Amino acid sequence: ANAKIPWDDLQYIFGEIMYGGHITDNWDRRLCMAYLSTYIKNELNEGLELFPGFATPPPMAHKEYMEYVAEGLEQETPAAYGLHPNSEINFMTKQADDLFRAVAELQPRGGGGAGGMTMQDKVKRILDDILDKLPEQFSMMEIEERIDERTPYTSVFLQEVDRMSQLIYEMRRSLVELDKGLKGDLSMTDAMETLMDSLYDDKVPERWDILAWPSLRPLASWLVDFFARHRQIVEWTGDLATPKSTWISGLFNPQAFLTAVMQVTARKNEWPLDNLEIVVEVTKKMLPEEIDAPTRDGAFVHGLFAEGARWDINANSLDDALMKQLYPSMPVMLVKSAMQSSGKESKDIYKCPVYKTQSRGPTYVFTAGLRTKAPPTKWVLAGLSLVMDVVE
Protein backbone atom coordinates (compact mmCIF):
# COMPACT_ATOMS: atom_id res chain seq x y z
CA ALA A 1 0.00 0.00 0.00
CA ASN A 2 1.09 3.57 -0.67
CA ALA A 3 2.06 5.16 2.65
CA LYS A 4 2.09 8.66 1.18
CA ILE A 5 -0.90 10.73 2.26
CA PRO A 6 -2.69 12.36 -0.72
CA TRP A 7 -2.87 15.87 0.77
CA ASP A 8 -3.95 17.55 -2.48
CA ASP A 9 -6.81 15.07 -2.83
CA LEU A 10 -7.90 15.67 0.76
CA GLN A 11 -7.88 19.45 0.22
CA TYR A 12 -10.08 19.04 -2.85
CA ILE A 13 -12.49 16.61 -1.17
CA PHE A 14 -12.92 18.83 1.90
CA GLY A 15 -12.77 22.18 0.13
CA GLU A 16 -14.75 21.53 -3.04
CA ILE A 17 -17.03 18.58 -2.27
CA MET A 18 -17.82 17.61 1.33
CA TYR A 19 -17.73 21.08 2.91
CA GLY A 20 -16.85 23.57 0.22
CA GLY A 21 -19.66 22.32 -1.99
CA HIS A 22 -22.10 24.00 0.40
CA ILE A 23 -20.34 27.38 0.20
CA THR A 24 -22.08 29.69 -2.27
CA ASP A 25 -19.94 32.81 -1.85
CA ASN A 26 -16.70 32.80 -3.88
CA TRP A 27 -14.79 34.79 -1.24
CA ASP A 28 -15.84 32.32 1.47
CA ARG A 29 -14.72 29.42 -0.71
CA ARG A 30 -11.36 31.09 -1.24
CA LEU A 31 -10.98 31.44 2.54
CA CYS A 32 -11.90 27.78 3.04
CA MET A 33 -9.28 26.66 0.51
CA ALA A 34 -6.70 28.97 2.11
CA TYR A 35 -7.21 27.30 5.51
CA LEU A 36 -6.95 23.86 3.94
CA SER A 37 -3.78 24.67 1.97
CA THR A 38 -2.22 26.12 5.14
CA TYR A 39 -3.01 23.24 7.49
CA ILE A 40 -3.77 20.12 5.41
CA LYS A 41 -0.24 19.28 4.31
CA ASN A 42 2.62 16.94 5.17
CA GLU A 43 4.02 19.26 7.86
CA LEU A 44 0.89 18.49 9.90
CA ASN A 45 2.61 15.30 11.11
CA GLU A 46 5.92 17.04 11.75
CA GLY A 47 4.99 19.61 14.40
CA LEU A 48 3.30 22.30 12.29
CA GLU A 49 2.79 25.48 14.33
CA LEU A 50 -0.91 26.18 14.06
CA PHE A 51 -0.40 29.54 15.78
CA PRO A 52 2.29 30.99 18.07
CA GLY A 53 2.82 28.68 21.03
CA PHE A 54 0.75 25.74 19.80
CA ALA A 55 2.12 23.13 17.40
CA THR A 56 0.61 19.86 16.22
CA PRO A 57 1.61 16.87 18.37
CA PRO A 58 3.34 13.73 17.13
CA PRO A 59 1.16 10.70 16.32
CA MET A 60 -0.55 9.41 19.48
CA ALA A 61 -3.78 7.84 20.73
CA HIS A 62 -7.10 9.70 20.65
CA LYS A 63 -7.15 10.13 24.44
CA GLU A 64 -3.65 11.64 24.37
CA TYR A 65 -4.72 14.05 21.60
CA MET A 66 -7.59 15.25 23.79
CA GLU A 67 -5.27 15.74 26.75
CA TYR A 68 -2.73 17.59 24.59
CA VAL A 69 -5.37 20.03 23.34
CA ALA A 70 -6.86 20.54 26.83
CA GLU A 71 -3.47 21.28 28.39
CA GLY A 72 -1.66 23.09 25.55
CA LEU A 73 -4.37 25.16 23.88
CA GLU A 74 -4.48 28.59 25.49
CA GLN A 75 -7.18 31.21 25.17
CA GLU A 76 -8.12 31.85 21.56
CA THR A 77 -6.56 34.88 19.93
CA PRO A 78 -6.94 36.41 16.44
CA ALA A 79 -3.51 34.94 15.58
CA ALA A 80 -5.04 31.45 15.85
CA TYR A 81 -7.01 32.18 12.68
CA GLY A 82 -4.38 34.19 10.82
CA LEU A 83 -5.96 37.52 11.78
CA HIS A 84 -4.12 40.63 12.96
CA PRO A 85 -4.53 41.61 16.67
CA ASN A 86 -6.28 44.78 15.46
CA SER A 87 -9.29 42.62 14.55
CA GLU A 88 -9.90 42.00 18.26
CA ILE A 89 -9.90 45.76 18.86
CA ASN A 90 -12.48 46.14 16.10
CA PHE A 91 -14.63 43.38 17.57
CA MET A 92 -14.59 44.79 21.10
CA THR A 93 -15.22 48.33 19.85
CA LYS A 94 -18.29 47.16 17.96
CA GLN A 95 -19.56 45.34 21.04
CA ALA A 96 -19.19 48.51 23.11
CA ASP A 97 -20.92 50.62 20.43
CA ASP A 98 -23.83 48.19 20.26
CA LEU A 99 -24.16 48.22 24.05
CA PHE A 100 -24.22 52.03 24.34
CA ARG A 101 -26.61 52.29 21.40
CA ALA A 102 -29.01 49.88 23.10
CA VAL A 103 -28.77 51.84 26.37
CA ALA A 104 -29.45 55.11 24.52
CA GLU A 105 -32.54 53.66 22.83
CA LEU A 106 -33.93 52.64 26.24
CA GLN A 107 -33.76 56.20 27.56
CA PRO A 108 -37.12 57.96 28.13
CA ARG A 109 -38.21 60.41 25.43
CA GLY A 110 -40.48 62.57 27.51
CA GLY A 111 -40.03 66.15 28.72
CA GLY A 112 -36.61 67.54 29.50
CA GLY A 113 -37.25 68.42 33.13
CA ALA A 114 -34.97 70.49 35.35
CA GLY A 115 -34.35 72.95 32.55
CA GLY A 116 -33.33 70.25 30.04
CA MET A 117 -34.41 70.19 26.39
CA THR A 118 -37.47 68.20 25.38
CA MET A 119 -37.31 65.77 22.46
CA GLN A 120 -39.16 68.28 20.24
CA ASP A 121 -36.75 71.09 21.19
CA LYS A 122 -33.71 68.98 20.35
CA VAL A 123 -35.19 67.80 17.04
CA LYS A 124 -36.16 71.39 16.12
CA ARG A 125 -32.59 72.56 16.74
CA ILE A 126 -31.12 69.74 14.59
CA LEU A 127 -33.72 70.35 11.88
CA ASP A 128 -33.01 74.08 11.69
CA ASP A 129 -29.25 73.47 11.58
CA ILE A 130 -29.56 71.04 8.65
CA LEU A 131 -31.93 73.31 6.71
CA ASP A 132 -29.58 76.28 7.16
CA LYS A 133 -26.66 74.35 5.66
CA LEU A 134 -28.55 72.31 3.05
CA PRO A 135 -27.45 73.34 -0.47
CA GLU A 136 -29.79 74.01 -3.37
CA GLN A 137 -30.51 71.41 -6.03
CA PHE A 138 -28.42 71.39 -9.20
CA SER A 139 -29.86 72.69 -12.46
CA MET A 140 -29.48 69.69 -14.77
CA MET A 141 -30.56 71.68 -17.84
CA GLU A 142 -27.98 74.41 -17.24
CA ILE A 143 -25.18 71.87 -16.72
CA GLU A 144 -26.07 69.83 -19.83
CA GLU A 145 -26.12 72.99 -21.98
CA ARG A 146 -22.49 73.68 -21.02
CA ILE A 147 -21.24 70.22 -21.99
CA ASP A 148 -19.42 70.18 -25.35
CA GLU A 149 -18.51 66.48 -25.51
CA ARG A 150 -20.32 63.77 -23.58
CA THR A 151 -17.65 61.24 -22.57
CA PRO A 152 -18.24 58.17 -20.35
CA TYR A 153 -16.81 60.16 -17.41
CA THR A 154 -19.24 63.00 -18.11
CA SER A 155 -22.16 60.57 -18.06
CA VAL A 156 -21.04 59.24 -14.68
CA PHE A 157 -20.86 62.70 -13.11
CA LEU A 158 -24.23 63.68 -14.60
CA GLN A 159 -25.73 60.64 -12.90
CA GLU A 160 -24.07 61.73 -9.67
CA VAL A 161 -25.52 65.23 -10.05
CA ASP A 162 -29.00 63.80 -10.64
CA ARG A 163 -28.87 61.50 -7.63
CA MET A 164 -27.52 64.24 -5.37
CA SER A 165 -30.35 66.55 -6.48
CA GLN A 166 -32.93 63.87 -5.68
CA LEU A 167 -31.44 63.40 -2.21
CA ILE A 168 -31.34 67.14 -1.51
CA TYR A 169 -34.97 67.48 -2.62
CA GLU A 170 -36.14 64.69 -0.30
CA MET A 171 -34.11 66.02 2.63
CA ARG A 172 -35.55 69.51 2.27
CA ARG A 173 -39.11 68.27 1.64
CA SER A 174 -39.18 65.98 4.69
CA LEU A 175 -37.51 68.51 7.00
CA VAL A 176 -39.87 71.35 6.00
CA GLU A 177 -42.84 69.02 6.47
CA LEU A 178 -41.64 68.01 9.95
CA ASP A 179 -41.00 71.65 10.84
CA LYS A 180 -44.62 72.48 10.01
CA GLY A 181 -45.74 69.52 12.09
CA LEU A 182 -43.74 70.68 15.11
CA LYS A 183 -45.23 74.17 14.77
CA GLY A 184 -48.75 72.75 14.62
CA ASP A 185 -49.41 73.80 11.02
CA LEU A 186 -49.75 70.14 9.94
CA SER A 187 -50.94 67.01 11.72
CA MET A 188 -48.08 64.69 12.67
CA THR A 189 -48.02 61.59 10.43
CA ASP A 190 -46.21 58.27 10.93
CA ALA A 191 -43.54 59.36 8.45
CA MET A 192 -42.94 62.58 10.39
CA GLU A 193 -42.77 60.68 13.70
CA THR A 194 -40.22 58.28 12.19
CA LEU A 195 -38.12 61.17 10.91
CA MET A 196 -38.25 62.86 14.32
CA ASP A 197 -37.09 59.65 16.06
CA SER A 198 -34.20 59.31 13.59
CA LEU A 199 -33.02 62.89 14.15
CA TYR A 200 -33.26 62.45 17.92
CA ASP A 201 -31.35 59.13 17.86
CA ASP A 202 -28.64 60.45 15.50
CA LYS A 203 -29.64 57.97 12.80
CA VAL A 204 -29.89 58.54 9.06
CA PRO A 205 -33.64 58.70 8.21
CA GLU A 206 -34.83 55.72 6.17
CA ARG A 207 -36.04 57.77 3.20
CA TRP A 208 -32.70 59.57 2.97
CA ASP A 209 -30.81 56.30 3.29
CA ILE A 210 -32.73 54.78 0.36
CA LEU A 211 -31.76 57.66 -1.93
CA ALA A 212 -28.19 57.93 -0.62
CA TRP A 213 -25.18 55.59 -0.62
CA PRO A 214 -24.48 52.58 1.65
CA SER A 215 -23.21 53.93 4.96
CA LEU A 216 -22.82 52.83 8.58
CA ARG A 217 -22.30 56.38 9.87
CA PRO A 218 -24.49 58.05 12.50
CA LEU A 219 -26.40 61.10 11.26
CA ALA A 220 -23.90 63.76 12.39
CA SER A 221 -20.98 62.00 10.66
CA TRP A 222 -23.18 61.17 7.66
CA LEU A 223 -23.96 64.88 7.16
CA VAL A 224 -20.24 65.74 7.17
CA ASP A 225 -19.77 63.05 4.50
CA PHE A 226 -22.78 64.37 2.57
CA PHE A 227 -21.35 67.90 2.34
CA ALA A 228 -17.93 66.54 1.27
CA ARG A 229 -19.56 64.53 -1.53
CA HIS A 230 -21.55 67.58 -2.57
CA ARG A 231 -18.34 69.65 -2.77
CA GLN A 232 -16.78 67.16 -5.18
CA ILE A 233 -19.80 67.43 -7.49
CA VAL A 234 -19.75 71.25 -7.24
CA GLU A 235 -16.08 71.26 -8.25
CA TRP A 236 -16.84 69.07 -11.25
CA THR A 237 -19.78 71.25 -12.36
CA GLY A 238 -17.45 74.28 -12.21
CA ASP A 239 -15.24 73.29 -15.17
CA LEU A 240 -16.87 69.98 -16.27
CA ALA A 241 -13.40 68.38 -16.45
CA THR A 242 -12.47 65.02 -14.99
CA PRO A 243 -10.65 65.66 -11.67
CA LYS A 244 -6.91 65.03 -11.46
CA SER A 245 -7.78 62.41 -8.87
CA THR A 246 -11.35 61.33 -8.23
CA TRP A 247 -12.55 60.68 -4.70
CA ILE A 248 -14.11 57.38 -5.74
CA SER A 249 -15.41 56.77 -2.23
CA GLY A 250 -17.51 59.93 -2.58
CA LEU A 251 -19.53 58.64 -5.54
CA PHE A 252 -23.05 57.22 -5.31
CA ASN A 253 -22.10 54.57 -7.86
CA PRO A 254 -18.33 53.90 -7.99
CA GLN A 255 -18.95 50.87 -10.24
CA ALA A 256 -20.18 53.25 -12.96
CA PHE A 257 -16.90 55.18 -12.79
CA LEU A 258 -14.89 51.98 -13.19
CA THR A 259 -17.08 51.01 -16.15
CA ALA A 260 -16.33 54.41 -17.69
CA VAL A 261 -12.59 53.66 -17.37
CA MET A 262 -13.13 50.44 -19.31
CA GLN A 263 -15.35 52.14 -21.91
CA VAL A 264 -12.72 54.81 -22.64
CA THR A 265 -10.02 52.13 -23.00
CA ALA A 266 -12.24 49.97 -25.21
CA ARG A 267 -13.00 52.86 -27.58
CA LYS A 268 -9.38 54.00 -27.69
CA ASN A 269 -7.97 50.55 -28.55
CA GLU A 270 -11.06 49.13 -30.29
CA TRP A 271 -11.22 46.27 -27.79
CA PRO A 272 -14.43 44.42 -26.86
CA LEU A 273 -15.70 45.77 -23.52
CA ASP A 274 -16.65 42.29 -22.27
CA ASN A 275 -13.01 41.17 -22.43
CA LEU A 276 -11.65 43.97 -20.23
CA GLU A 277 -10.92 44.03 -16.51
CA ILE A 278 -9.83 46.66 -14.00
CA VAL A 279 -6.10 46.83 -13.17
CA VAL A 280 -4.76 48.83 -10.23
CA GLU A 281 -1.35 50.46 -9.71
CA VAL A 282 -0.63 51.96 -6.30
CA THR A 283 1.35 55.20 -6.56
CA LYS A 284 3.79 56.66 -4.03
CA LYS A 285 1.62 59.74 -3.47
CA MET A 286 -0.50 59.74 -0.30
CA LEU A 287 -2.49 62.91 -1.03
CA PRO A 288 -4.54 63.73 -4.16
CA GLU A 289 -3.06 67.24 -4.13
CA GLU A 290 0.28 65.68 -5.10
CA ILE A 291 -1.13 64.63 -8.48
CA ASP A 292 -0.05 67.21 -11.07
CA ALA A 293 -2.41 66.34 -13.92
CA PRO A 294 -4.95 63.71 -14.96
CA THR A 295 -3.49 60.56 -16.47
CA ARG A 296 -4.00 59.78 -20.15
CA ASP A 297 -4.51 56.10 -19.45
CA GLY A 298 -7.19 55.33 -16.87
CA ALA A 299 -7.87 57.55 -13.87
CA PHE A 300 -6.33 58.41 -10.51
CA VAL A 301 -8.58 57.62 -7.52
CA HIS A 302 -8.24 58.08 -3.78
CA GLY A 303 -10.22 57.61 -0.59
CA LEU A 304 -9.61 53.89 0.09
CA PHE A 305 -8.64 52.31 3.42
CA ALA A 306 -7.06 48.93 4.14
CA GLU A 307 -8.51 46.58 6.75
CA GLY A 308 -6.28 43.71 7.86
CA ALA A 309 -2.96 45.07 6.54
CA ARG A 310 -1.31 48.27 5.30
CA TRP A 311 0.50 49.47 2.19
CA ASP A 312 4.26 49.96 2.52
CA ILE A 313 5.16 52.81 0.15
CA ASN A 314 8.90 52.15 0.38
CA ALA A 315 8.57 48.44 -0.46
CA ASN A 316 5.67 49.11 -2.85
CA SER A 317 3.78 46.12 -1.49
CA LEU A 318 1.42 44.95 1.25
CA ASP A 319 2.75 44.62 4.80
CA ASP A 320 1.44 43.76 8.26
CA ALA A 321 -0.73 46.41 9.84
CA LEU A 322 0.66 48.45 12.72
CA MET A 323 -0.91 48.01 16.14
CA LYS A 324 -3.95 50.22 16.76
CA GLN A 325 -3.93 51.52 13.19
CA LEU A 326 -7.19 49.85 12.26
CA TYR A 327 -7.82 51.41 8.85
CA PRO A 328 -4.63 52.88 7.35
CA SER A 329 -5.16 55.05 4.28
CA MET A 330 -4.11 53.76 0.89
CA PRO A 331 -2.04 56.00 -1.41
CA VAL A 332 -3.53 57.45 -4.57
CA MET A 333 -4.19 54.61 -6.99
CA LEU A 334 -4.10 54.52 -10.78
CA VAL A 335 -7.07 52.56 -12.10
CA LYS A 336 -6.63 51.26 -15.64
CA SER A 337 -8.28 48.73 -17.90
CA ALA A 338 -6.60 45.81 -19.65
CA MET A 339 -7.51 42.59 -21.42
CA GLN A 340 -8.59 39.89 -19.00
CA SER A 341 -5.81 37.58 -17.77
CA SER A 342 -5.96 33.81 -18.07
CA GLY A 343 -7.30 33.57 -14.53
CA LYS A 344 -4.19 31.92 -13.06
CA GLU A 345 -3.24 33.05 -9.55
CA SER A 346 -0.04 35.11 -9.44
CA LYS A 347 2.30 34.47 -6.51
CA ASP A 348 3.07 38.16 -6.04
CA ILE A 349 -0.45 39.56 -6.51
CA TYR A 350 -3.23 39.43 -3.90
CA LYS A 351 -6.71 39.76 -5.36
CA CYS A 352 -8.18 42.17 -2.85
CA PRO A 353 -11.95 42.74 -2.68
CA VAL A 354 -13.03 46.38 -2.41
CA TYR A 355 -16.20 47.23 -0.47
CA LYS A 356 -18.17 50.41 0.14
CA THR A 357 -18.54 49.87 3.91
CA GLN A 358 -17.07 47.80 6.73
CA SER A 359 -20.08 45.48 6.62
CA ARG A 360 -18.67 44.15 3.31
CA GLY A 361 -21.12 41.62 1.83
CA PRO A 362 -23.52 43.32 -0.60
CA THR A 363 -21.37 46.48 -0.80
CA TYR A 364 -18.73 44.78 -3.01
CA VAL A 365 -17.41 47.07 -5.78
CA PHE A 366 -14.49 45.40 -7.57
CA THR A 367 -11.30 43.38 -7.09
CA ALA A 368 -7.94 45.18 -6.89
CA GLY A 369 -4.74 43.28 -7.59
CA LEU A 370 -2.20 44.41 -4.98
CA ARG A 371 1.49 43.51 -4.95
CA THR A 372 2.69 41.32 -2.09
CA LYS A 373 5.99 39.78 -1.05
CA ALA A 374 4.24 37.38 1.31
CA PRO A 375 2.11 34.51 -0.09
CA PRO A 376 -1.39 35.76 -1.02
CA THR A 377 -2.81 33.10 1.33
CA LYS A 378 -1.53 35.13 4.28
CA TRP A 379 -3.77 38.06 3.35
CA VAL A 380 -6.74 35.77 2.67
CA LEU A 381 -6.50 34.46 6.24
CA ALA A 382 -6.04 38.02 7.54
CA GLY A 383 -9.33 39.01 5.89
CA LEU A 384 -7.63 41.85 4.02
CA SER A 385 -9.94 44.09 2.04
CA LEU A 386 -10.12 47.71 0.95
CA VAL A 387 -12.99 49.82 2.30
CA MET A 388 -14.29 53.07 0.85
CA ASP A 389 -16.21 54.47 3.83
CA VAL A 390 -14.83 53.87 7.31
CA VAL A 391 -16.51 54.62 10.65
CA GLU A 392 -14.04 54.51 13.56
N-terminal to C-terminal alpha carbon distance within the chain: 58
Rounded distance, CA 144 to CA 182, Å? 39
* Residues contacting 316, CB < 8 A, separation 6+: 282, 284, 371
Q: How many residues does the chain have?
A: 392
Asked if the model's pLDDT at residue 114 lies above 90, the reply is: no
How far is Cα of residue 319 from the mean position of the Cα atoms in its chain?
A: 19
Under the banding of pLDDT at 50, 70 and 90, the label for residue 305 is: very high
How far is Cα of residue 100 from the mean position of the Cα atoms in its chain?
A: 24
Higher-scoring residue by pLDDT: 371, 117: 371
pLDDT recorded at residue 1: 44
Rounded distance, CA 329 to CA 375, Å? 22
pLDDT recorded at residue 280: 95
pLDDT recorded at residue 110: 62
- What pLDDT, in 10s, does the model give residues 280-296? 999 999 999 999 988 98
Q: Are 308 and 382 in contact (CB under 8 A)?
A: yes
Supply the pTM of this predicted model. Answer: 0.89
The DSSP secondary structure of 193-221, one letter per residue, reads HHHHHHHHTT---HHHHHHS------HHH
Average pLDDT, the chain: 90
- When pLDDT is averaged across residues 202-230 and rounded to a whole number, the result is 95
Q: Are 279 and 369 in contact (CB under 8 A)?
A: yes
- What pLDDT, in 10s, does the model give residues 231-279? 999 999 988 888 999 999 999 999 999 999 999 999 988 889 888 999 9
* Residues contacting 39, CB < 8 A, separation 6+: 48, 50
- What pLDDT, in 10s, does the model give residues 13-23? 888 888 877 88
Asked if the model's pLDDT at residue 312 lies above 90, the reply is: yes
User: What are residue 123's phi and psi, to 5 degrees?
Assistant: -65, -40
Under the banding of pLDDT at 50, 70 and 90, the label for residue 73 is: confident
- What pLDDT, in 10s, does the model give residues 83-96? 999 999 989 998 99
Under the banding of pLDDT at 50, 70 and 90, the label for residue 115 is: low
Burial of 38 (0-12, 13-18, 19+ CB in 10 A): middle
Angle between helices 152-183 and 254-269 (to 10 degrees): 160
